[in-house]
Structure 1
């Protein structure tokens, strides 16, 4: 099944999609691609917001985009790798059974699955600016990510008997 179909399916059954994305064998390249695609989409989601900010403040949009590029494509992948490692270790100390790869995929996939909502948030920030609409779409994206993340971690650390 394709990535787009799995993203849509994640909104109905996040744990099952994480299990499906894990596949029969470990694929570290797939985990890295998932993370980089998610970070890339979130970087693209920043463009409308940064364009508006540059217009309002008179700053150079290229400088703002360069900072967002550095943050989302170089720094955040490292942050998510460390976060996944720490969280997997913590879950295993609590009796979980997740491997490092499973913990990484359970962290990276929800980020990619919630990226359409981050794109919506970016458009909202770019066209409307700060306000209730931006707060609601940002909160919706964050809550979706947290729900998907929790379901994925539960699926890999404490799998149900099949």
Structure 2
């Protein structure tokens, strides 16, 4: 199934889609592609906000974009691998049986599934700026991300013996 179809399907039933991803077998290349796609979308979502910031503060846009590129494309995936591994250790403490791959994939997939809302967040940040609208979209993004991540972790083996 195309990834865009899976993202839409994950809003209706995240555990079903994640179960299908796990059934494909452990493939670190696929996991890396998922986290890189999510980070690329997050990088793109920063463009309107950075353009607004550059315009309002009379800065050059290119250095701001370069810093965002470095953060989202090169550093963030490494941080996500660390968080995914840490989440597996936390699951083990609470009796979970998730493999390291499944725990990482749960985080990466939740990140990618929530990324379309981050695109909206970036547009609101760029065109409207700080305010209740930006806060509301950010809160919706966070809730969707946490909901999908928790659902995926549950499917991966959280609380199972």
Check whether the contact 1:121–1:137 (CA below 8 A) recurs between aligned residues.
Answer: yes
Tell me how far 1:24 sits from its aligned partner: 3.4
Alpha-carbon distance between aligned partners in 2 of 1:28 and 1:10, rounded to the nearest angstrom: 21
- Say which is worse superposed, 73-82 or 15-24, in terms of deviation: 15-24
Check whether the contact 1:92–1:157 (CA below 8 A) recurs between aligned residues.
Answer: no
Partner residue of 2:70? 70
Alpha-carbon distance between aligned partners in 2 of 1:101 and 1:69, rounded to the nearest angstrom: 26
TM-score (norm 1): 0.95
Partner residue of 1:44? 44
Report matched runs for 1:151-162 at 5 Å. Answer: 151-158=151-158
* Equivalences, count: 160
Query: Any gaps of 5 or more consecutive residues in structure 1?
Result: none
Query: Any gaps of 5 or more consecutive residues in structure 2?
Result: none
SS of residue in 1 equivalent to 2:59: coil
Alpha-carbon distance between aligned partners in 2 of 1:158 and 1:132, rounded to the nearest angstrom: 35
Check whether the contact 1:18–1:155 (CA below 8 A) recurs between aligned residues.
Answer: yes
Q: Which runs of 4+ in 1 moved over 6 A?
A: none
Partner residue of 1:54? 54
Q: Please tell me the root mean square deviation across aligned C-alpha atoms, in Å.
A: 1.2
Check whether the contact 1:10–1:17 (CA below 8 A) recurs between aligned residues.
Answer: yes
Alpha-carbon distance between aligned partners in 1 of 2:158 and 2:43, rounded to the nearest angstrom: 33
Partner residue of 1:98? 98
Report matched runs for 1:74-85 at 5 Å. Answer: 74-85=74-85
Alpha-carbon distance between aligned partners in 1 of 2:30 and 2:76, rounded to the nearest angstrom: 17
Tell me how far 1:159 sits from its aligned partner: 7.8
TM-score (norm 2): 0.96
Check whether the contact 2:125–2:134 (CA below 8 A) recurs between aligned residues.
Answer: yes
Report matched runs for 1:9-158 at 5 Å. Answer: 9-158=9-158
